[in-house]
Amino acid sequence: MRAGPRAPLWYPRRRVDAGLHPARWWRPAERGKLLCTLCPRYCLVGEGQAGFCYIRQNHGGQLWSAGYGRSTGFAVDPIEKKPLNHFLPGTRVLSFGTAGCNLGCAFCQNWDISKAKIDQHASEISTPDEVVQLALRTNCDSIAYTYNDPVIWAEFVIDVAKEAHRAGLANVLVTAGYVTAEARGELFEHIDATNVDLKAFTEAFYRRVTYSHLEPVLDTLAWLKRETSVWTEITTLLIPGLNDSEDEIGRECDWILEHVGPDVPLHFTAFHPDFKMTDRPRTPASTLGRARQIARERGIRFCYVGNVHDAEGQTTRCPGCSATLVVRDWHAIRRYRMEGNRCLECGTEIPGRFHPGRHDGTERRTPGLRYGVTLN
């Protein structure tokens, strides 16, 4: 049940940008302001102003989304790039985002779009049907809502996701999980898989480095496990000296084990200096390896490293017999040996969504990638 009034079927007399779309999840507040209830930032948006994410705006006493149907560009990615290692391995996913973001990460790796305003960034106008047709034309199995945080353009995510399901495509949400309890049910209703960024395991990091809070993200993760069937993987980008201590990694793993369980794949990925954080070095491969070792010792059954070449750290092994099931190199599949969701050797069930049938090929490469695909 949404908290805000129903999206208007009429447009207010005040003229608004033709690119604006009625927003949901808001309610009127004092002195003509509107309270946006989509993310835990709960912005109070004055007349003619935008919320922190920029793309939700108050015009004429209504909240509008400037992100609906306005992609900053499309790309065909391997699903491993999201990263998702236990969801349709080796398939292609049509990926897109919009401008704006509801977090303020100093290390943002997509800052050119997440910090852009719609009118500063070339935006492609598209309808849900056009996005789905593009995914079909480019032989994708799924659509990923990604690059900036799709929470802030939830209205468009929902409309595209419904259309994608009608066409037999899966939906993937790549998010920081910073969404309110009142909006998350509808946002995830048509989502099949998600990767949630757990950016650190201290409130101090969240507050100082991302301008947000840890607790709502943990809430989303626990809720995904408890209340939904959305396939979930977690990513933590390790930044030297900020969130990579053995104690913090251990506490993060303990929390995941208790609230999400040992089967959720956990990815530790390497940071590179970017945006406002250029004073830190790249994450050494040894830090990722140590983090993976800690996770496995604590009981996380599937832990991977990313943004580095490390075949062993990216390999899926059977927890029953240690057989090698999926060998990855960066985002490419080098070997795929499974029977549906089971180990080819001992029959142990592997959590996730894998391809039906028997696959014992020694070579299975991710199809060639295409960047900058366009609607027409």
The verdict on 304 binding ligand SF4 (CB under 6 A) reads no
Q: What whole-number distance in Å separates Cα of residue 211 and Cα of residue 107?
A: 12
- Which one of 36-44, 231-239, 293-301, 321-329 is the stretch in contact with ligand SF4 (CB under 6 A)? 36-44
The verdict on 337 binding ligand SF4 (CB under 6 A) reads no
Cβ nearer to ligand SF4, comparing 36 with 93: 36
Cβ nearer to ligand SF4, comparing 38 with 84: 38
The verdict on 52 binding ligand SF4 (CB under 6 A) reads yes
Residues 150-189 that bind ligand SF4 (CB under 6 A): 152
- Which one of 38-46, 225-233, 234-242, 303-311 is the stretch in contact with ligand SF4 (CB under 6 A)? 38-46
DSSP state of 353: B
How many residues bind ligand SF4 (CB under 6 A)? The answer is 12
- Which one of 8-16, 32-40, 224-232, 366-374 is the stretch in contact with ligand SF4 (CB under 6 A)? 32-40
The verdict on 59 binding ligand SF4 (CB under 6 A) reads no
Read off the tokens for 86. 């236990």
The verdict on 301 binding ligand SF4 (CB under 6 A) reads no
DSSP characters for 66-96? S-TTEES-EEEEEGGGTT-SSBSTT-EEEEE
120 contacts 99 by C-beta, under 8 angstroms? yes
Q: What whole-number distance in Å separates Cα of residue 358 and Cα of residue 342?
A: 9
The verdict on 56 binding ligand SF4 (CB under 6 A) reads yes
Pairing of β 70-71 and β 62-65: unpaired
H/E segment holding residue 238: strand 231-238
**Closest Cα partner for 274 from 107, 53, 63?**
107
Cβ nearer to ligand SF4, comparing 49 with 293: 49
- Which one of 31-39, 122-130, 274-282, 365-373 is the stretch in contact with ligand SF4 (CB under 6 A)? 31-39
Q: Is the dihedral of CA 84, 86, 90, 91 positive or negative?
A: negative
Backbone torsions φ then ψ of 20, nearest 5 degrees = -85, 145
Please report how many Cα atoms fall inside a 13 Å half-sphere around the Cα of residue 342, on the Cβ side. Answer: 8
Q: What whole-number distance in Å separates Cα of residue 302 and Cα of residue 261?
A: 11
Nearest-approach distance from CB 135 to ligand SF4, in angstroms? 26
- Residue of the chain from 20, 21, 24, 43 that contacts ligand SF4 (CB under 6 A): 43
- Which one of 49-57, 258-266, 309-317, 322-330 is the stretch in contact with ligand SF4 (CB under 6 A)? 49-57
Q: Which residues are near ligand SF4 by CB under 6 A?
A: 36, 38-39, 41-43, 51-53, 56, 102, 152
